[in-house]
Structure 1
Amino acid sequence: MSKPTVLLSAFTGTAAFNISGSTLHSLLKLPRSLKPPIQGLGNQLDEVRSELINTEILVIDEISMVSKPLFAYVDGRLKQIKGSHRPFGGVSVLAVGDFYQLLPVRHSKLLCVHDPAEIDLWQEHFQMVTLTQIMRQKDDLSFAEMLNRMRVKEKTDELSQADRELLSQRITELASCPTDILHIFATKKQVEKNNSVTLYLLHSNIVSIDADDFQKDPRTGRMARRDKPYAGGRSELADTLKVAEGARVMLTRNIDVSNGLVNGAFAKLVQVVTSDNDRITKLGLQMDQSRNKDRVVFIERAEENLKQRGVVCRQFPVKLAFACTVHKTQGLTTDAAVLSLTKIFEAGMAYVALSRVRTLGGLYLLDLDERKIFANPEITAALQSMRQASVDDMMPLSNLTETVSRPDILTLVHHNTEGLPAHIKNLKSHHELCLADVLCLTETHLQGSFVADSLHLEGYSMFKRNRHLSYSNFPDLSSRSGGGVAVYVRKTFVVSEKRYLHNVTDLEFIVLKVEAPFQALITAIYRPPDFGLKPFMDNLVSLLDSLETLDCHPVIVCGDFNENQLIRGRKPILDLFESKGYAQLITSATTDKHTLLDLVFISQPHRCLHAGVMRSYYSYHNPVYCLLSFSDL
């Protein structure tokens, strides 16, 4: 199975699960302590390298939660894994999130804000793209617009009268709020009080679950359970849990990120499992984010070493969650929530809390002190000074949609996929390849006559020629894996394949004659880098002569010719095409090493309105495209 080229990650388990990704710590095998110097991977290095060998892009979601020390560790670890001194080991990092949200835990500066005491990897290496489509509050735009104003509001700014009136409409008493929706507070003390009151208000079947603390018995040398747990000294586990079947709870540890059993995940406790001696052995949970809402997941006690020397604690990694702190809600979306702003103590907290609900009608506000709604001015200054990234060259066809959609335009794309089966998912999810009328692929690596259903593109007909059918006089080449060409053509086009051409015996190619909606001859070619120039040129001459006899224009020949057009000196392939009246349309580098190997030749260059290079994250080669006009027909 091919290794992924794009990795999805986040700092917290909750954020990682939301994007079907992994935590940074698990993905990169990071230690709990991030103090420099960066620790090596030891015997794990080869294993991690094999998993990340194809990684080109690392996506980090909820980037505001990532501290500068963690980011420095990510940089160092990727350098180790990739064996490169380039920033992040040469991996492109796509950091997604909103810096106006909460600060990283126990760290004072966000990544975008310069701190002379910390390694700064942000200012030099990152550019900003602003996303404009609102998702969470898309059905309540007036609420969304108000939140955007509060997002950047400074402490000295006053709310507009309109915003103040909107929020005032939602102020209510705690006793009037629904008890079955999430309550959000600023401090742990507020949360614990609300959780305790709500538990006794809603439930009578309350059970107490003491932690099992084990300590070595000096007489026997064995670990023995204490009669009572130690008080305090635990980071994630409770001395005593008070819960009830039907109560709202939250996990306090990452158990299984892929299945949503992550620190901060909300659930309903539906079953308390006991052993024959009435000891509680498991808790059955229905997770809020489970794809199967009725599924019950059973968790067991987790283990933690206490500060007291030699003491091991075993307790269920859950806590009550009728209410939670603002910090636990970052990344959460809910239909309704009760919110108190009275104890807000830092920038961004009020904005995060207010923006968890989808609509203003889902907000129950216990109080309103607009002085608590403020942003960190350092963030505003940092973002204003950041370089803005242009995405125009990343989406050339998307920027030409009016032209692409014209009925008189033929959109042709060529792409060396470096293996169609390995990259078909990448190809199908590419934001621009689906705009092509004709998609020519080289290095397809297909074998045999059978084509798996997964390799077909909806709305397209597929034509292919595998390498083993392409060579009559070079058995070493024909028996070698790799190579091959394929062409996808929209099913609205009328096309026929010209399979056998005079004296073309040793060439990886496909020729298609387009009959409607307009006429054209389209050829895709792949030349292996070690295929000698003379036999290739002999076959290419025969091919071009045969195309001429078909008397159909324009003729478009595209492919990977493995002749770099950006170096000085003689270029026999280019010279041959130009001698026959063709023009080559691509002028900039098409590979990661800044070579121009992927070419498009056309017999009637006046038809070309646009041509250029697209972007690919999964192949050494970038796709190339051309838009041809048939308005004279």
Structure 2
Amino acid sequence: MVIWIENAPIFVPFDAESEARVAEFVDLVSTTDSDDPLIREFIKYQMHKCIQTCKKKARGHVDCRFGAPFRPMDKTRILYPVDDDKPEKDVLTKIRDLNKKLIEMLNNKPEEIDTFEEMLQKLNCTLYLYLLAIRVNLRHPTIFIKRDPKNTRVNVYNKLILTLMRTYIVDYVNKSSRGLSKLLRDCVEEARQGNKTLREKLKALAHILYNSSEICSQEAAWSRLRLPMCKCSDLVEFINTSHSSKRTHILKSNKEIAELAKSNPTSTDIFKKGSIDHYASRPNELEDLCLADFVANYTFNVKAGTTFQEDENVEIDAEVEPIDNGEERANSRKSKHYVLKDNSGTIVERRSPKVIRYCRFSIEQDEENFLREMCLLFLPWRNEKQDIEDNDCANLYLQNREIISTNYSKFNAIDLDINDILRDIEEERRTQEQVEEANDPENTNLEEDDTFVNVYDFDDNVVRPDLSNEIGEASSNQGAISKYIVPNLYGDEEYFKLCDSLNTEQKDYLMLLISCFKNDNDLPIYHFISGGAGVGKTCLTRAIFQSLTRIFRNQPGTAKKNEIILAASTGMAAHNIAGITAHQAFHLTTSHGNTNSMLGPDIANTMAAELHDLKLIIIDEISMLSSELFNQISSRLKQIFRTTQEFGGKSVIVVGDFNQLRPVGGTRTFMPKNSGSPNSTSILTENLQWSLFKLFKLTKVMRQRDDLRFAEALNRIPLGETTAEDIEMFNSRSFTELTLPEEGKNAVRLMRANRVVDAYNLSKVRILEMNVPGTLKIVHRAEDRFSGNITERQKNQARNAIEKLEKKDTQNLLTELQLVTGMKYMISSNIDVPDGLFNGATGTLRFFEVVNNRLQAVYLEMEDKDIGKAARSKRRALMEKNKIPLNWTPIFKIKKAFNVLKKGIVQVTREQYPLIMAEGITVHKSQGLSMPNVTVDFISSSMEREMKYVALSRATTLNGLYILGKFVPPDKPGPNDPVKVEMERMHNECSLVPKFKNLREIGTSLSIISHNVQSLHKHISSISSDLTYINTNIILCQETWAVDNMQYNIPGFTEINRNSFGGPMSIAQGTIIFVKSNYLNSVVPTRARRFEAGKQHIDITSCIVDDSILILNIYRNPGSKIAINYYLDMITEFEYVFVFGDFNEDLSKESELERYLASIGLKLLSERKSTTNSGTTLDGVFAKCDFMTEVNIYESYFSYHKPLCLKVYTD
């Protein structure tokens, strides 16, 4: 309740008389007295009892967010924050001890302390120190009411009002939902402890809500009808000051468009007109009126007296309903009406101006749009495109600054400092000119000695505007559309080599995907590829992209469309797979609390056009992507593709290992979003997006000899199954600081805590300065600019607050950065992910580029030579001119914005080099890196299971791992460990079974595979590496391109029959039969035959199995009219016959060949399904037998044709 009281005193800061009047007034209307007999029966309802909702955790302990127990005070006082000069260190120590002792005293038995003076005696402190302890935590003048120690939990009240509020108190005591929150917390805790199904969770939740909550019918009806909850006297209108090309518009009604088509068929005027359109058509009498004045002070009517807003292309706040103002309407009738020039309606001056809102672009973050917006709103114009957008808005602003300033001041309580703006513009232009002049390779007037000067310590204030970095990659409604990266397609040889290198597990999955997308089966798919260190997740991801891209495109070449998005949770992981970050790909917001925000229509529409052909999304390092962002990706795709299907109905493959570190500041991917909060009820629900996914787990380690043993030992760490041999192996790499080899000293050191990392890096700086002659050092302070309607005092508070912020709170841009040549540095913010300049890329600082005594760039020698190629190429001329080694990569300052102070009222734009020292880094920072040499520090601080696993697995080999201290194996994960529970659930309920796994099973049956291989010489390695071929008895190859003098070797097989060409060049013809060596005794070859008629030909090879089964292997070239039936004379001689081949005849329906074979007792065994990449059915199996048979169509990544697999059960 808010009560307005007459004749209240006005507070004047630092005025003793004013303070006394305010204190007297406060004592008059409020109290904390608990001894008054008139209110004794009510005082128990004024006691503050801390419940779950008012508890907050800060600095490791739990406090009440309302400040209870409240501070006792001898009289009502007004206290001020301490001056900018903080108390001495010993005084602060006394204050901390005093506060701790006071809280303990007030929480125990404050009623035993009678007076304020007695409390001071027990605390053994003076009144000055007691008040000082309160003031150090204040940010503004604050009233502390008179309060005895025994009343530290009594809420302030007014005696008269309290006695009149009995009805409220009775309602409060009897409110029906008073225990609901506790029941919900109990339900959440029970759900966390047990592995309940979603049905069980919802049942428990429904029971609580059904039995614990009541609502009256009137309130329910009001809420369902969405009636306004409050009313206001002033209207608020939003003016969309975005560029005209980026504004949204409302279409005219179908009736209006139909009438327009009749009257003017060529017209493109299909949108409703809004305030900006009406302003452009204002009458000449209002020529000097600016847009802001027009919108605030005039109402548009279709005809005089009739307000027209409902269909207008304007945005009126709908949170509140405007009060019907009869006086306004009456005044409207008396006011003069102006007819708009386009005759679309009239405008009338309002009695009460509207409140206007607009985009409010920041000059620090988007100078171009800021200046355009100022001119658009506060400078009169007629044609927006000609007068504003086609003009240089900086010059326009400078020429009309007085008009703009005057109009701006009408709508803003705090005026802009025009001089600051002008100075900013001039400085930006001057600096840009200097930079361009310095970087111009044709500028022969630039002297080398004057250009680059090595200096040691200066404070740089150079401005290098970079709005793309300043806006940030994760803005939901700003910034350019993401540039989707498409990795280069491999040539045939490189592609086949990649796929041939896959192990059986990897190939099983690849063939499953190829089948799904070739045949459009079971789409969309949602798969999770999991596995530990060294199992080849990245290699499989690369093979998936290359294979499916070939399917999606008829021929390899330069990509024109985005059929596949390769994304990752971090820039480092994105670079590893040649993709982009998930934030860039889907315009994700960086705040976990704002994951439901929608994209602007302009961005959504552009993304929809860019991703028109999108079929598959691959997200790597899924363990580092929070559930909140995972949900946001699905929401983005729903919006882009205008569907309610999760992920926009597109297939999604996620790759990663949940045994690694969890997402920073978010919930694990597979958990319901926001369920990480202790008070969240999200745990009672299901993660709808994650519930779609099936698990495919890679288990086979793809490493050799000692590295295989090392990788297997690593993968046992997260399971808590480390063996004695593993411990011995890890401790064989254990060292002390004294025994650490030189390689270990020079390697990146991984530690747990930031403070230890910082101390180690500073020690490396000192070592470099002492031991390495010529070491140069620059201490570079960030330049911070403040924006927002803030006072000078708030600016000072913001400066002090910034000094206390951690790196993560300042967008990873340091307040003070020590730049030392010879030191390793890590890029701390994504600069250019495609070029490898991502958050996590490391290199050694080699050179400072200084122009006119200002630092322009620093140069790093990157550990990966491919990183920074594009950046080096852009500055190649300058680097050659100044004799800078061409393998050094330039790094420039970037701008990032962040908020400080309470509720983020001050926005800070920081300009700094995105670098941090990286001789030592935290384990969190290392996730996703692979290093040939790495030192893991177990001495400085202990590490839990997942951290040990991540730290040790950064090393690619055992010999590259150096351990400081002893390796102690972690415990097994507990029964309720979320990762263990989820992986067991997925293994039991939604494991992905490879579609073709059964084809390679070895049994007692006769197994034959038939395939048009399109050159055996080219694809022999692909056949030899596939167990589906190797585990069969007989391999039949068509279109082998074989020549007589060429031998083909498949391990474990013997060639028994061939139909080849004399040469010397191979052509598209030929058939060959291979038989497994241990099956040779059962097979007898027959004569190979070839029939030709010009360019038409038929090639036939055959063999006899167990003296009773005839097998024919046939290839007929495309367009051949030669009838096969003339050359199958052997069929009638055998009881059992199988005819395989590429017949180049449409077998999807009954063909002439099929009718002939049916006439002699053979029927088609294979299905009438596609056997080629283009969907045709040209390959088949015919048989005459009474055995049980099974025919499957396999997949191929190297041939246009698909293999046919036959199993004959002869037993």
> Is this a same-fold pair by TM over 0.5?
yes
SS at match of 1:15: helix
Looking at structure 2, the residues matched to 561 and 78 of structure 1 have their Cα atoms a distance apart, in angstroms, of 40
Q: Which residue of 2 aligns with 1:522?
A: 1115
Looking at structure 2, the residues matched to 584 and 41 of structure 1 have their Cα atoms a distance apart, in angstroms, of 57
In the alignment, is residue 613 of structure 1 matched against residue 1198 of structure 2?
Answer: no
In the alignment, is residue 252 of structure 1 matched against residue 837 of structure 2?
Answer: no
Residues 1:96 and 1:561: Cα distance change in structure 2 (over 3 Å): same
Deviation at 1:20, TM superposition (A): 1.7
Q: Which residue of 1 aligns with 2:734?
A: 171
Residues 1:65 and 1:489: Cα distance change in structure 2 (over 3 Å): farther
SS at match of 1:129: strand
In the alignment, is residue 88 of structure 1 matched against residue 647 of structure 2?
Answer: yes
For 1:378, the aligned partner's letter is: P
Looking at structure 2, the residues matched to 126 and 168 of structure 1 have their Cα atoms a distance apart, in angstroms, of 39
Looking at structure 2, the residues matched to 609 and 234 of structure 1 have their Cα atoms a distance apart, in angstroms, of 68
In the alignment, is residue 144 of structure 1 matched against residue 711 of structure 2?
Answer: yes
In the alignment, is residue 266 of structure 1 matched against residue 842 of structure 2?
Answer: yes
Deviation at 1:590, TM superposition (A): 5.4
Q: Which residue of 1 aligns with 2:934?
A: 337
Q: Which residue of 2 aligns with 1:313?
A: 910
Looking at structure 1, the residues matched to 946 and 758 of structure 2 have their Cα atoms a distance apart, in angstroms, of 22
Bigger proportion of residues as helix: 2
Looking at structure 1, the residues matched to 1144 and 662 of structure 2 have their Cα atoms a distance apart, in angstroms, of 50
Q: Which residue of 2 aligns with 1:196?
A: 762
Of the three residues 857, 862, 865, the one matched with 1:282 is 857
Counterpart contact for 1:614–1:622, Cα < 8 Å: no
Residues 1:24 and 1:525: Cα distance change in structure 2 (over 3 Å): farther
Q: Which residue of 1 aligns with 2:1123?
A: 546
Counterpart contact for 1:609–1:626, Cα < 8 Å: no
Looking at structure 1, the residues matched to 1207 and 728 of structure 2 have their Cα atoms a distance apart, in angstroms, of 56
State the identity %: 25
For 2:762, the aligned partner's letter is: S
Q: Which residue of 2 aligns with 1:363?
A: 961
SS at match of 1:307: strand
SS at match of 2:949: helix
Q: Which residue of 2 aligns with 1:584?
A: 1164
Looking at structure 2, the residues matched to 555 and 140 of structure 1 have their Cα atoms a distance apart, in angstroms, of 45
Looking at structure 2, the residues matched to 495 and 45 of structure 1 have their Cα atoms a distance apart, in angstroms, of 62
Q: Which residue of 2 aligns with 1:128?
A: 695
Of the three residues 942, 947, 952, the one matched with 1:354 is 952
Counterpart contact for 2:1070–2:1115, Cα < 8 Å: no
Residues 1:618 and 1:160: Cα distance change in structure 2 (over 3 Å): closer
In the alignment, is residue 68 of structure 1 matched against residue 68 of structure 2?
Answer: no
Of the three residues 770, 778, 792, the one matched with 1:207 is 778
What is the TM-score when the length of structure 2 is the normalising length?
A: 0.38
Residues 1:438 and 1:340: Cα distance change in structure 2 (over 3 Å): same
* Higher relative contact order (CA closer than 8 Å, sequence separation 6+): 1
Counterpart contact for 1:560–1:597, Cα < 8 Å: no
Counterpart contact for 2:749–2:921, Cα < 8 Å: yes
Counterpart contact for 2:702–2:708, Cα < 8 Å: no
Per-residue CA deviation, residues 139-165 of structure 1 (Å, 9 max, x unaligned), is: 3344333323222118xxxx6554444
Counterpart contact for 1:608–1:626, Cα < 8 Å: no
Per-residue CA deviation, residues 300-329 of structure 1 (Å, 9 max, x unaligned), is: 111012436354221111110001000111
Where does the alignment leave 5 or more consecutive residues of structure 2 unmatched? 1-558, 676-681, 770-774, 790-798, 869-885, 901-905, 1015-1021, 1030-1034, 1040-1047, 1050-1066, 1075-1087, 1104-1110, 1131-1138
Per-residue CA deviation, residues 22-45 of structure 1 (Å, 9 max, x unaligned), is: 222222333334534352462344
SS at match of 2:995: helix
Looking at structure 1, the residues matched to 607 and 972 of structure 2 have their Cα atoms a distance apart, in angstroms, of 43
Residues 1:512 and 1:433: Cα distance change in structure 2 (over 3 Å): farther
Deviation at 1:492, TM superposition (A): 10
Counterpart contact for 1:185–1:324, Cα < 8 Å: yes
- Give the greater-gyration-radius structure (CA): 2
Residues 1:87 and 1:217: Cα distance change in structure 2 (over 3 Å): closer
Counterpart contact for 2:848–2:859, Cα < 8 Å: yes
For 1:22, the aligned partner's letter is: I
Counterpart contact for 1:209–1:280, Cα < 8 Å: no
Deviation at 1:491, TM superposition (A): 9.4
Q: Which residue of 1 aligns with 2:1099?
A: 513
Q: Which residue of 2 aligns with 1:425?
A: none
Counterpart contact for 1:68–1:110, Cα < 8 Å: yes
Looking at structure 2, the residues matched to 303 and 369 of structure 1 have their Cα atoms a distance apart, in angstroms, of 42
Residues 1:44 and 1:30: Cα distance change in structure 2 (over 3 Å): same
Runs of 4+, deviation exceeding 6 Å: 400-404, 431-437, 486-497, 516-519, 571-575, 616-619
For 1:411, the aligned partner's letter is: S
In the alignment, is residue 304 of structure 1 matched against residue 903 of structure 2?
Answer: no
For 2:1099, the aligned partner's letter is: K
For 2:694, the aligned partner's letter is: Q
Counterpart contact for 1:585–1:612, Cα < 8 Å: no
For 1:362, the aligned partner's letter is: G
- Between 1:97-106 and 1:109-118, the stretch displaced more is 109-118
In the alignment, is residue 393 of structure 1 matched against residue 990 of structure 2?
Answer: no
Deviation at 1:575, TM superposition (A): 7.7
Where does the alignment leave 5 or more consecutive residues of structure 1 unmatched? 219-227, 416-427, 441-457, 460-485, 502-509, 527-541, 566-570
What is the TM-score when the length of structure 1 is the normalising length?
A: 0.68
For 2:911, the aligned partner's letter is: R
For 1:389, the aligned partner's letter is: S
Looking at structure 2, the residues matched to 51 and 88 of structure 1 have their Cα atoms a distance apart, in angstroms, of 16
Looking at structure 2, the residues matched to 373 and 580 of structure 1 have their Cα atoms a distance apart, in angstroms, of 71
Looking at structure 1, the residues matched to 670 and 605 of structure 2 have their Cα atoms a distance apart, in angstroms, of 30
In the alignment, is residue 12 of structure 1 matched against residue 570 of structure 2?
Answer: yes
Per-residue CA deviation, residues 327-357 of structure 1 (Å, 9 max, x unaligned), is: 1111222233222235346551111112222
Deviation at 1:246, TM superposition (A): 1.8
Counterpart contact for 1:395–1:432, Cα < 8 Å: no
- Between 1:375-384 and 1:134-143, the stretch displaced more is 134-143
Q: Which residue of 1 aligns with 2:587?
A: 29
Per-residue CA deviation, residues 216-267 of structure 1 (Å, 9 max, x unaligned), is: 799xxxxxxxxx9963462211112102122100001111212211001111
Looking at structure 2, the residues matched to 511 and 396 of structure 1 have their Cα atoms a distance apart, in angstroms, of 36
Of the three residues 411, 414, 418, the one matched with 2:1010 is 411
SS at match of 1:94: strand
Looking at structure 2, the residues matched to 370 and 5 of structure 1 have their Cα atoms a distance apart, in angstroms, of 47
Bigger proportion of residues as strand: 1
Looking at structure 2, the residues matched to 335 and 38 of structure 1 have their Cα atoms a distance apart, in angstroms, of 42
Deviation at 1:14, TM superposition (A): 0.4
Counterpart contact for 2:1164–2:1183, Cα < 8 Å: no
